Structure 1
């Protein structure tokens, strides 16, 4: 290929890439369409990208790495050429926490582009998959999908994955209003880019003035972040190698903190490397307060004094419960999972993966810069900045609130533990203790009846840390081989849990667990969270449980049996009886008279509505819902590793003939077996293609029409020819002319590019002559460039502190 033509093609590819290149995430809530529009449409392209890569929007040249060295951020232009990055270049770069890592982007964005629509609008999203070798699906977390269950976006439950190069159009009605989000529901893609906010605004005529005027609304997507890809992280667990989470060749080992007590909960079963707020983050070595790369940008929320702001927080994490606080500012929780509650003033807000919480912040403090903190149960943290607009941007020196009797106890909403040692000075507000705002949502709790339309189902959610298998009632979920919402023969595409030859290992059976309930049934789930072994209270994890297509009332959250003086768990809540002292896969009430409404501590008057709920370790949670949305709905733990390793099931609401019919030509997929008999028949008697019947071809390439060879004729005019077929003449004048025009355009673009590139290089030369901004790093600097990537060795165990 000629050099000029090759450069032209590279240029055109660069232009296309830059058109969808990295874009800064706008955290302001701005409607995507006006409320008068019936349909709100979006076009997405999903592809790979990488953190710490700068896309030059001015010159439209190849992207360059962004590197951190000598206390500054540089753009690497060549092997020995570096240019200090401008603030504008840094701000439009996906920096994460400073390491280069392959990620997914939607239209060049991470997090994905906001979808801000009005309740009742039809949402249309055209998704083009330009990943090289992965399928993808999009789940619209929190949306009912009434009448469109095959738009829910769960692979092999609602739809087939969108293959590379293919596109798929999602179309559904935005319902209910509130803070929601979307994310990939295939494998472990969601925590590395395929996720974004989905805000459904109430219609202007439906708004209720239940709060003071709100100056602005911010979207806050928080998550944990790892140097390993999510797939690598998953297999470290599957292969029981998570102790090498610092790196397979790193001398440090991660020791699980399940046995350790912390102030807000337990740090969990995996390393917290770092976190992100709207894709901005830092790595804090040895759990200190000084980040490793201080000049990386912080996500910053700019506010005015004496105003009220609404923050819509979405926990998109892989695994960690994250606690939100803002130094020297009190927060007021007003909504959970898109459903309004009566305001609860608090200091810390707990969010588990998948949960959303909206809070009000009043800017009544001295103007300045304050830390916006996101903390992971004592295992790590990430910070943003709340900046008053009357002061210059700067690094805050504010302090986290100290909880003491002298300064008042701290209030924690949605806490992991109910009981804390007295000297922690913490007060917990459990989910069921919050009250639904009846002015906005007048839905009553579904009533208990004894006519068969009420069922109570107890589900034990357990993670076997030794074998890395997640189970519900002793069953680890196996995906169907074809999406159930396309209505195949269920017995042929699932591993039935009723099979006599079911595959079981160590008391765990692998099958497609389906719970079927009649349409209109009131279902009360009692969700239980035992540890891997009932008689070992030091082990165990909390789980965020999410149900698709429905929401539910949270009637009770019951925590572990605690030592009231130390706050340490003594084991399973004593209300629950397990079948043995080892397993608890078939739990039941210890008091056999309990059930329905007859469970002490239920809030049957005004409990909050949610679609994702905390299930505390060694405790249980009671939720109640009306199964009124026909379809096959996924129910699972929203910790990504738990879900993909089996803590899931399918809730079938109604019979297939009560479910919406699949759209015409909806894509299907599944297992295929090429029968030996059919194979032998085909190779013995090859079938003629339809085009071969009347159009035979000789080895030389001349066609035979009606068994007569037609010889191609050649015109005398140079450069032009025609072929005669059955007396018809086909000319190629137009094709030749098109080829000549295309060639001229290609070489013209090439010449223009070379001219622009020459001018760009001259400008850089001038800039080098006039400023020290463009430089070549010396030998000493190169040595620092290499050594700067080596972190200070933290200890080989997690450390904890109280507030």
Structure 2
């Protein structure tokens, strides 16, 4: 296997090295780039080294030079509990541990995999390493793209992994090389941003260790095996609900922890085990990788969690008993192994929309002696608690009905957490924003007479029978552009015809309650931007949207539910009341994903200093799939970084036809 010529060209730019053309083989030990092959100013710089990705999982030191970490992936249509698992479902435990056996929830199911794993191969590197991933699409008839959630892609926005925004989708039978600097320390992750592949298995962890972590004294160990990725899982490929069936409502059948769970009470598949030693303190990295509508409620039997980070940003330590997360969020916490030696349940329940489904997943926290094989611990002797035998909630983080900035109660909003970084960004906190954007999220029942007419060929989701819905932001349902905006900006020839926003709607929208078009909003490079997110649902309900922005992180300056008297005039109320409930001394947390409370709002702000086209969207797969998103353009076209000259390009093709064109 060889690393081809392009690798060094790309990574040399990322390392601020003068461009040179050379190649070398990938070997099992680190390989130097021989100085006699280098050109120009590269002679004055430390020699770059390429390492197989697994060798980048290490203790990090600020004195160590960064590495180039290389991974090779195959995207494949596959099966959980497929033939690689052979007799696993018939009680042969050895077969359950075959390296290519994906057990999922113990039921057979078509899926997509990365290197025949789910979650996919972990990426664990040190800050300022360069991540290089060759993604080969071996799925028949499916294109793909991988988004690196939490990485802002400064200087390499074409590596963000959003089809038809930052790149062309990767066609079957081809390989695309992602290469970017791991600048954003913390717990990040990756997932497909194509179709519904995330819900079918294309997810994985991407951890960037910080050698100068401000909370380092609070834990003894930061182990790779203590990444805790939660995902939902169905008995069928999720395309069954695209757009959906009259006879059955979309449903979550299981909750998985690191790709393992059990459907109902089957016992022939293993559970995930987290091993600890008595008296030690461990950093756990929670990744909420759900695709459907369930927030996840995490509890660890008889143990508390000291939260020290969210979405990669350090926060002041905050101890909780229950941690709720929504799709896209990450929370790092320290667990002190201070209980009697034994095994304890790690319990994850699907809540809110999923309460009626009564689903939860389990893993095991084990104090077992190191001489006991982990495989034995993955089949606990004791049964997990019954659904109705609940653990006490205690202090709960991130409940969407909580009152924020209310001290001494048992509910803590994500907004209550305080940044614990080097400085407090007074200028951003106190600034009068250059632009305020008000973004209302909603799911609207479609007009079936229009939906099933000649004008109705658009995305939608069937909830049940004839009840069909479309996702919107500001009453606009997003459609993808026909070419990647970042890569081919020369094809942007008529803003008014090609795009829309709430101040400009195409004539075709006249007379309709919603508009279906490519929703794009532009801000100036360098602006302080305040984005006020609000839920426009008509009814109080246990349902809320996770909002994610690409290319940035933001601070939260206010958050909560709207008062009853404001529900009939939400936008006007938010425009009139620009004050925040945040105490002046509060140092707001940095996030890139946040849940919008039902009939509530979140005020966020950031500096628009990363030029490009960046997707903003609800992180529920079906909501984005039916249009709940928009593109944020930061800067003028001539201010955007230019992709490499040989970067793939794509778009419409129509042979001119006399009398038609």
TM-score, normalised to structure 2, is 0.79
Shift of residue 304, structure 1, vs aligned partner: 1.0
What residue is the counterpart of 1:467 in the other structure? 468
Task: Tell me if structure 2 keeps the 8 A contact 1:334–1:341.
Answer: yes
What residue is the counterpart of 2:69 in the other structure? 40
Counterpart selection for 1:299 from 259, 268, 272: 272
Task: Tell me if structure 1 keeps the 8 A contact 2:66–2:126.
Answer: no
User: Which structure 2 residues correspond to residues 212-611 of structure 1 after superposition, within 5 A?
Assistant: 212-214=219-221, 216-217=223-224, 218-236=226-244, 241=246, 244-245=248-249, 270-284=250-264, 291=265, 293-319=266-292, 320-377=294-351, 378=355, 379-390=358-369, 393=377, 394-396=380-382, 410-418=394-402, 427-438=410-421, 440=422, 442-444=424-426, 446-449=428-431, 454-464=434-444, 466-486=467-487, 487-491=489-493, 494-497=498-501, 498-503=504-509, 507-531=513-537, 534=538, 537-539=539-541, 541-559=543-561, 561=563, 574-575=565-566, 577-578=568-569, 587-589=571-573, 592=576, 594-595=577-578, 598-601=579-582, 605-611=586-592
Shift of residue 31, structure 1, vs aligned partner: 3.7
Counterpart selection for 2:57 from 25, 30, 33: 30
Q: Aligned partners of 2:335, 2:68: CA distance in 1, in Å?
A: 33
Secondary structure at the aligned position of 1:271 is classed as: coil
Give yes or no for the alignment of 1:211 onto 2:218.
yes
Q: Aligned partners of 1:139, 1:441: CA distance in 2, in Å?
A: 29
Task: Tell me if structure 2 keeps the 8 A contact 1:479–1:494.
Answer: no
Q: Are residues 551 and 87 of structure 1, via their aligned partners in 2, closer, same or farther at CA, if it must alter by over 3 Å?
A: same
Q: Are residues 401 and 161 of structure 1, via their aligned partners in 2, closer, same or farther at CA, if it must alter by over 3 Å?
A: closer
What residue is the counterpart of 2:81 in the other structure? 52
Counterpart selection for 2:606 from 620, 625, 632: 625
Q: Are residues 445 and 335 of structure 1, via their aligned partners in 2, closer, same or farther at CA, if it must alter by over 3 Å?
A: farther
Q: Aligned partners of 2:330, 2:613: CA distance in 1, in Å?
A: 24
Counterpart selection for 1:173 from 159, 169, 181: 181
Q: Aligned partners of 1:370, 1:118: CA distance in 2, in Å?
A: 31
User: Which structure 2 residues correspond to residues 42-81 of structure 1 after superposition, within 5 A?
Assistant: 42-55=71-84, 65-66=86-87, 68=89, 72-73=90-91
Task: Tell me if structure 2 keeps the 8 A contact 1:179–1:312.
Answer: yes
Shift of residue 215, structure 1, vs aligned partner: 6.1
> What is the root-mean-square deviation of aligned Cα atoms in Å?
3.1
Task: Tell me if structure 2 keeps the 8 A contact 1:503–1:510.
Answer: yes
Q: Aligned partners of 1:496, 1:456: CA distance in 2, in Å?
A: 18
User: Which structure 2 residues correspond to residues 732-747 of structure 1 after superposition, within 5 A?
Assistant: none
Shift of residue 551, structure 1, vs aligned partner: 0.1
Task: Tell me if structure 2 keeps the 8 A contact 1:432–1:603.
Answer: no
Secondary structure at the aligned position of 2:369 is classed as: coil
Secondary structure at the aligned position of 2:646 is classed as: coil
Q: Aligned partners of 2:400, 2:472: CA distance in 1, in Å?
A: 21
Q: Aligned partners of 1:134, 1:398: CA distance in 2, in Å?
A: 39
Q: Are residues 676 and 209 of structure 1, via their aligned partners in 2, closer, same or farther at CA, if it must alter by over 3 Å?
A: closer
Q: Are residues 445 and 602 of structure 1, via their aligned partners in 2, closer, same or farther at CA, if it must alter by over 3 Å?
A: farther
Q: Are residues 504 and 435 of structure 1, via their aligned partners in 2, closer, same or farther at CA, if it must alter by over 3 Å?
A: same
Task: Tell me if structure 2 keeps the 8 A contact 1:445–1:604.
Answer: no
Task: Tell me if structure 2 keeps the 8 A contact 1:521–1:627.
Answer: yes
Give yes or no for the alignment of 1:134 onto 2:142.
yes
Q: Are residues 121 and 30 of structure 1, via their aligned partners in 2, closer, same or farther at CA, if it must alter by over 3 Å?
A: closer
Give a deviation string over 1:128-157, Cα, whole Å, max 9, x none: 111100001011101010011111000100
Task: Tell me if structure 2 keeps the 8 A contact 1:141–1:183.
Answer: yes
Give a deviation string over 1:98-152, Cα, whole Å, max 9, x none: 1111111212211110111111122111111111000010111010100111110
Secondary structure at the aligned position of 1:294 is classed as: coil
Q: Are residues 29 and 623 of structure 1, via their aligned partners in 2, closer, same or farther at CA, if it must alter by over 3 Å?
A: farther
Counterpart selection for 2:629 from 644, 648, 652: 648
Which runs of no fewer than 5 residues in structure 2 stay unpaired?
Answer: 1-52, 446-466
Shift of residue 32, structure 1, vs aligned partner: 10
Q: Are residues 365 and 542 of structure 1, via their aligned partners in 2, closer, same or farther at CA, if it must alter by over 3 Å?
A: same
Task: Tell me if structure 2 keeps the 8 A contact 1:48–1:104.
Answer: yes
Task: Tell me if structure 1 keeps the 8 A contact 2:56–2:69.
Answer: no
Greater mean alpha carbon deviation, residues 383-392 or residues 647-656: 383-392
Q: Are residues 283 and 603 of structure 1, via their aligned partners in 2, closer, same or farther at CA, if it must alter by over 3 Å?
A: farther
Q: Are residues 188 and 363 of structure 1, via their aligned partners in 2, closer, same or farther at CA, if it must alter by over 3 Å?
A: same
Secondary structure at the aligned position of 2:415 is classed as: helix
Q: Aligned partners of 1:28, 1:150: CA distance in 2, in Å?
A: 26
Q: Are residues 603 and 111 of structure 1, via their aligned partners in 2, closer, same or farther at CA, if it must alter by over 3 Å?
A: farther
Aligned length: 564
Q: Aligned partners of 1:610, 1:428: CA distance in 2, in Å?
A: 19
Structure with higher Rg: it is 1
Shift of residue 464, structure 1, vs aligned partner: 2.0
Shift of residue 467, structure 1, vs aligned partner: 3.0
Shift of residue 540, structure 1, vs aligned partner: 7.0
Q: Are residues 201 and 527 of structure 1, via their aligned partners in 2, closer, same or farther at CA, if it must alter by over 3 Å?
A: same
Counterpart selection for 1:143 from 122, 145, 151: 151
Q: Are residues 645 and 398 of structure 1, via their aligned partners in 2, closer, same or farther at CA, if it must alter by over 3 Å?
A: closer
Q: Aligned partners of 2:132, 2:384: CA distance in 1, in Å?
A: 44
Secondary structure at the aligned position of 1:318 is classed as: coil
Give a deviation string over 1:187-245, Cα, whole Å, max 9, x none: 1111222111010111x356664414236351111111111212222321xx5x3x614
What residue is the counterpart of 1:110 in the other structure? 118
Q: Aligned partners of 2:342, 2:167: CA distance in 1, in Å?
A: 50
